[in-house]
A and B are shown apart, each in its own frame.
Chain A
Amino acid sequence: MSRLTVRDLWSTGQLRARQARFLLPSQRALFLLWIPSGLAAGAVLLPILYLLIRALGGGESSWEIVLRPQTLETLWRTVWLAFWVTVLSIAIALPLAWLTTRSDLPGRRLWAVLTPLPLVVPSYVGAYLFVSALGPRGLLQTLLEAPFGITRLPDIYGLPGALLVLTLLNYPFLLLTLRAALLRLDPALEEAAASLGLNRWQTFWRVTLPQLRPAITTGSLLVVLYVLRDFGAVAIMRYNTFTRVIYIQYQNSFNRSAAASLALVLIVLSLIVLILELRARGRARLASPNRPSRRPARLPLGRWRWPALLFCLAIVSVSLVLPAGLLAYWLLRGLAAGEVLGDLWATAGNSLLASGLAALAALTCALPISILEVRRHNAASRLLERISYAAFALPGIVIALALVFFGANYVPSLYQTLSMLVLAYVILFLPQVVGTVRTSLLQVHPNMEEAGRGLGKSAIEVFARITLPMVRPGIISGAALVFLTAMKELPATLLLAPSGFPTLATSVWSSVSEAFFARAAAPALLLVLLSSLPLALIEIRQQAKDKIVR
């Protein structure tokens, strides 16, 4: 046996890794991250604590409502809706993502900007617009009546309507994660498959799709949890999901205990979804240490060019042009009838301020949680990451009432201030940014950070100069998601905003609830436009960057 020198040992990766762990104080820095992460997780658990207080405080009678036979039916309806919305969203998002990243689709860049935008339309506005357009006696029926004599369209209400609205407004969650994943794929694998004789379909099904699995599960998780939470669309489409039944408890019998016990069932349901997602996520921990050095080639569509174009056109027309067009029509009609626009800019300013702060605050909480989960992959850090999703399926009103309860009774100095509203937004939307930041962190190989440390840089410097720039896309898109969902959030804003702090969402609500449609159109359009900006700008910047790389 030849002599083994220390120098040899040094050269083995194992010892190098051990050295990194022992000698570099980065672990201490990581340790400090537990404090903000723990605080954020504590905040997310507040609504659950509140629900327990309410449900247990109501005694046995509050559980009667859960044990009704209808509960099982509601559960089934909810799961059924969430399942089909997810399936249909994948069916829309997957082709769109592929077409806008990997094909020679005409106007590819424009479609890439337009297709994620339906996400900015609030569901209560979208559902209302779909009923006026596609309802039994809506706009479409009026158009069809003269030429075809159709006096009534089939009912949109119930499952079909809820499915339509929630799919068209939520598929972008999947589209965004899928596009990001497709852009990061290493073309080498697909080329290898092709060289081994697989045709394009086989390559897609057997090589590309399996690599997209994490993106599909992450995107589906957001879609499912959003469906569980939604109230606007299911209320207008009259489909009784759990969230709607919870609202009816508050609305009709002011029965907070019954509502709380129903909400706890919703939490159990979301836990099951989270566990399923964790399983589906698989074991893939690290991306290849090197980013793909080049982008995959764009495949020519050939004779599929026109059907593909038609598909994009159809989706964008129904999910974006139709709602925006109807709003514009109402606005113009209102203006013609002498409707005076109020001080929309101050209202828009309030919306921007609250949502912008929410994006920053959520990012501040999400970064430590994601870093811990990815870099110290242990039970505790994984639990923290899962906890950040715990409140995501809860309807806005539940989270808002929890903060009303704790705020008014325990921290009156913060109650009805902007900080309380921002806290509600963070609890509601934290998972969106945790998800995106985590995914991009997974792509940073620890070797890069260790190299930086080895060169004598401090942990903070390494984070600022290596980690942060590499996870920047995830940070920006996560913050943009929080921003636009906070812009359209209604119940939490109504219940928690400081008095005399109208936002675009509350203005829309206050006009629509009293049937002032023309007056609702202007803030609704402004809401859609302002929320679109970050999404569109991110995409346009990305495209500009691609051009330089190419």
Chain B
Amino acid sequence: MHHRFNLLTLLLLGALIVGACAGPNATQETPAATDPEAETEDSADETSADDAGEGSLVIYSGRSETLVAPIIEQFANATGIEVEVRYGSTSEMAAILLEEGENSPADIFWAQDPGGLGAVADAGLFSTLPDNLLSRVDPRFASPEGLWVGISGRARVIVYNTEMLSTDDLPDDIVAFTDPEWAGRIGFAPSNGSFQTMVTGMREAWGEDATRDWLAGIAANGPSLYENNTATVTAVGAGEVEVGFVNHYYLYRFLAEEGESYPARNFYLNDGGPASLVMVAGAGQLASSQNPENAERFLDFLLSTVAQQYFASQTYEYPLVEGVVTSSLLTPLSELNTPDIALGDLADLQGTVELLQEVGLLP
């Protein structure tokens, strides 16, 4: 009887030991310290190297590890800075920053959408960025107060199922989707930050009443409401719905994984209205940062040609800095008929959420 108990205990202990051995980073707070590559310093960047090394940098990333880890690693290798990254969704990371307040260990918050950045900025947790960083992007892609800067762009598009529709079937104007002929054919993610920013853009461009009418018209068409953009694109590809309101770059993951035969493509509305907004993923520097110089260096790196080229070619996003070539798969930013709305003016997310709740698109 006793040996059986021991066997199970051994099993549990075994699991712990395996865990302890396989995960040596567990109790280490600075995993990059053991990374030999992190010590190799790029001579070009060696401006203030001393015996203590280049110090460290803590990044809270609302962007996915699969997308941004390679470019962060490139920064760490080039500068010798020990970089520590926490990954989560943009809203979770923003919520953590709000809870941590002044005691946050973070130096940089890199968010998926302006909404998350706005929440942290409103709480007064960001420091003002220097002009030499802000001036690298079009002013509409940065915070008007200079609290965050756009890093990469994504266009609002209509994704459509190519087996059920052709581009001729699609209207030029987002208002047309309130027509009853689209009943049961539309899908989108009302809780998604980019969708909400688009609605905020509508409120800015059209006013409250017209926006409410549009939302009510869409709601009357019985749309399928998905959890996020990925689920929306999946549903369009499967033919569950015929069109989806999403950001442009999700489609390219599906094309990469499923092949060119994947039956969905992007359609750019050319009405120059809020539905053609270009959104950004952006970053800001925490006022409580312990490593402000490294934080600035990191933002500088993200706006460099090297990093911008990475976003253009690896994540199918729009580079925001002049002189970087957009992926050949995308319609260039300059050819898009985008509205003249500054993203920094689209901070009133609460009003949008209330409107969405009012028409029953959000609980």
Contact = CB atoms under 8 A, between A and B. Distances in A.
The answer to whether A and B belong to the same complex is: yes
Interface of A: 70, 74, 132, 135-138, 157, 235-236, 238, 240, 244-245, 248, 250-256, 334, 337, 345-354, 356-357, 359-360, 397, 401, 404-405, 408-409, 412, 415-418, 469, 472, 476, 479, 491, 494-495, 498-502, 506, 510-519, 534, 537-538, 541, 545
Nearest to B360: A70
Given A255-B350, A418-B27, A541-B4, A157 B224 contact: yes
A346 B23 contact: yes
A479 B362 CA distance: 39
A231 to B, nearest CB: 10
B64 A514 contact: yes
A-B residue pairs, 5 tightest by C-beta:
A349-B22, A353-B19, A500-B31, A352-B19, A254-B119
A236 B227 contact: yes
Given A74-B363, A412-B103, A545-B4, A136 B19 contact: no
B1 A469 contact: yes
Contacts of B227: 235-236, 238
Contacts of B8: 476, 537-538, 541
B362 A254 contact: no
Interface in B19-35: 19-23, 25-29, 31-32
Given A236-B231, A519-B66, A404 B96 contact: yes
Interface in B28-58: 28-29, 31-32, 58
A472 B3 CA distance: 13
B98 A515 contact: no
Interface string B67-106: 1000000000000000011111101101110111101110
22 contacts: A135-B240, A136-B240, A235-B227, A238-B225, A244-B363, A245-B363, A248-B363, A254-B349, A256-B99, A346-B25, A349-B18, A350-B25, A354-B19, A397-B95, A405-B100, A417-B27, A476-B8, A494-B92, A495-B92, A501-B23, A512-B230, A515-B230
B81 to A, nearest CB: 14
A525 to B, nearest CB: 17
A408 B85 contact: no
Most chain-B Cβ atoms within 10 A of its Cβ — which of A248, A349, A359?
Answer: A349
Grouping DSSP codes into helix (H, G, I), strand (E, B) and loop, the A interface class, with mixed when no group exceeds half, is: helix
Contact of B16 (A254, A352, A405, A498): A352
Interface string B103-137: 11100000000011001000000000000000000
B12 A356 contact: yes
B250 interface: yes
A165 B49 CA distance: 56
A139 to B, nearest CB: 10
B238 interface: yes
Contacts of A401: 95-96, 99
A279 B122 CA distance: 48
Nearest to B8: A476
A358 B7 CA distance: 20
Nearest to B226: A238
B313 to A, nearest CB: 17
B178 interface: no
A335 to B, nearest CB: 13
B198 interface: no
A238 B231 CA distance: 11
Contact of B257 (A253, A469, A515): A515
Contacts of B175: none
B239 interface: yes
A311 to B, nearest CB: 31
Contacts of A352: 15-16, 18-19, 22
Nearest to B362: A248
B191 to A, nearest CB: 6
Grouping DSSP codes into helix (H, G, I), strand (E, B) and loop, the B interface class, with mixed when no group exceeds half, is: helix
B253 interface: yes
B228 interface: yes
A442 to B, nearest CB: 21
A250 B349 CA distance: 12
B196 interface: yes
A360 B15 CA distance: 12
Given A349-B18, A404-B99, A495-B96, 7 more contacts: A137-B240, A252-B115, A254-B116, A353-B20, A354-B19, A408-B105, A515-B257
Interface string B271-296: 00000000000000000000000000
B306 interface: no
Contacts of A348: 22
A257 to B, nearest CB: 11
B349 A253 contact: yes
Given A137-B240, A510-B65, A499 B86 contact: yes
B155 to A, nearest CB: 18
B360 to A, nearest CB: 9
B22 A345 contact: yes
B95 A511 contact: no
Given A70-B363, A248-B363, A518 B257 contact: yes
B240 to A, nearest CB: 5
A397 B67 contact: no
A491 B92 contact: yes
Most chain-B Cβ atoms within 10 A of its Cβ — which of A135, A347, A501?
Answer: A501
Contacts of A135: 235, 238, 240
A252 B66 contact: no
Most chain-A Cβ atoms within 10 A of its Cβ — which of B22, B99, B350?
Answer: B99
Nearest to A255: B350
Contacts of B196: 252
Nearest to A236: B227
A137 B241 CA distance: 9
Contacts of B25: 346, 350, 498, 500-501
B238 A137 contact: yes
Nearest to B120: A254
B146 to A, nearest CB: 21
Nearest to A334: B257
Most chain-B Cβ atoms within 10 A of its Cβ — which of A157, A248, A252, A346?
Answer: A252
B257 A254 contact: no
Contacts of A136: 238, 240
B84 A356 contact: no
Nearest to A408: B100
B220 to A, nearest CB: 18
Contacts of B66: 510-511, 514, 516, 519
B270 interface: no
B11 interface: yes
Contact of B85 (A240, A350, A499, A538): A499
Contact of A416 (B23, B105, B357): B105
Contact of B15 (A255, A356, A517): A356
Most chain-A Cβ atoms within 10 A of its Cβ — which of B92, B196, B231, B253?
Answer: B92
B99 A506 contact: no
B336 interface: no
A451 B198 CA distance: 74
B73 to A, nearest CB: 12
A251 B11 CA distance: 40
A236 B226 CA distance: 7
B305 interface: no
B5 A472 contact: yes
A360 B32 CA distance: 29
Contact of B95 (A235, A256, A519): A256
Contacts of B101: 408-409
Given A350-B22, A517-B257, A254 B96 contact: no
Most chain-A Cβ atoms within 10 A of its Cβ — which of B95, B234, B254?
Answer: B95
